[in-house]
Structure 1
Amino acid sequence: MSIRNLIPKDKHDLDSVMRLMQHSAEDLEEIFPIFFEWLQDSNWPVAQELSKVLPQYGTHLVPHIEAALKSGDPQWQFS
Structure 2
Amino acid sequence: MIDAQGLLPRNKHDLDSIPRIVKAGYPAIAPILDELLDWTADGNWPVARPLADFLVTLGPPLIDPISRILRGTDETHKWHCMNLILHKLPIEVLGGLEEDLRRLADHPNEGDKREEVDIEARQALFRLEHMSRET
Instruction: Return the TM-score normalized by structure 1.
Output: 0.90
Match of 1:59 in 2: 60
* AA at the equivalent of 2:10: K
C-alpha contact 1:12 1:44 (8 A) present in aligned 2 = yes
Match of 2:47 in 1: 46
**Distance in 2 separating the partners of 1:3 and 1:30:** 7
Q: Quick one: higher RCO (CA 8 Å, sep 6+), 1 or 2?
A: 1
- Structure 1 portions without partners, runs of 5+: none
- Runs of 4+ aligned structure 1 residues displaced above 6 Å come to none
Aligned residues: 79
**Distance in 1 separating the partners of 2:63 and 2:29:** 14
The 5 Å alignment of 1:1-79 reads 2-79=3-80
Q: Which has the larger radius of gyration?
A: 2
* AA at the equivalent of 1:76: H
* AA at the equivalent of 1:19: R
